[in-house]
Amino acid sequence: MPSLGLGTWQNTDPEECANAVATALETGYRHVDTAQAYDNEASVGEGLARADVPREDVFLATKVWIDQLAHDDVLASTEESLDELGVDYVDLLYIHWPAGEYDPADTLTAFDDLYDEGLIERIGISNFEPGQVTEAVETADAPIFANQIECHPLLPQETLRAHCADHDVEVVAYSPLARGEVFDVPEIQQVAEKHGVSEAQVSLAWLREKGVTAIPKATSEAHVRDNWASRTLELDAEDVATIDGIDRRERQVDPGFAPW
């Protein structure tokens, strides 16, 4: 899984979304993330088709929404997602939240079926807390590959990241820029000024230092390219310590059905 991907949450304008995906792929990205609930899988698929990049070179992920997590609904909705995306398989399919129709045995049996049929390459979970991670790992026949969670310098998720590492589950960070909040954090501004880069690049490089894959949303070419440039930013130990020392903690995504 490439350690930097393109997020597409709230990118619902069909042309803008397709263009962002194509631009990202032509810039060098090889990881694209979407979801049934984003209502843009067809646009993401159009972007994939426009880019001069072979399908097999792209790590494509989508997510099953909470009202589609009963066994048969998982199967049917995933087939619809593949049709919308215009692909034969996805590299990673997530359970979007452990909520709604989620039942560990019933839901994960369906994911195992999709895995066995070759329609998905990997099983993912999203927004799972430590106990739910353990339960999913113990329930699924196929490995649980990743847990996608909100993670950024204002919500480092140390305990959950350590728990995932103990269970060989990768961590993928959504909202890695805290929905823009990182731009106003003095410690991040200080590191950004030191290196002559954006606060976004600092936050993404910090996540990379923590072994976390980030999927920042970007629609403009400028933001797509700026985020991509974070791959060459090397933070030193002092930089990491400065960011680790931020005493502000804020969760940006907190729906009523969240498990915390």
Give the model confidence (pLDDT) of 70-96 as tens digits: 999 999 999 999 999 999 999 999 999
Listed by start position, the domains of the chain span 6-179+213-219
pLDDT 10s digits, 32-49: 999 999 999 999 999 999
Which CA distances in Å does 78 have to 33, 83, 238? 15, 9, 45
**CATH of the domain spanning 6-179+213-219, picked from 3.40.50.720, 1.10.3720.10, 3.90.1170.40, 3.20.20.100:** 3.20.20.100
pLDDT at 257 (0 to 100): 97
Give the span between the Cα atoms of 61 and 75, in whole angstroms: 16
115 catalytic per annotation:
no
Which of 29, 38, 94, 102 is an active site residue? 38
Q: How far apart are the first and last CA of the chain?
A: 27
Mean of per-residue pLDDT scores for the chain: 98
Specify the pLDDT at position 51: 97
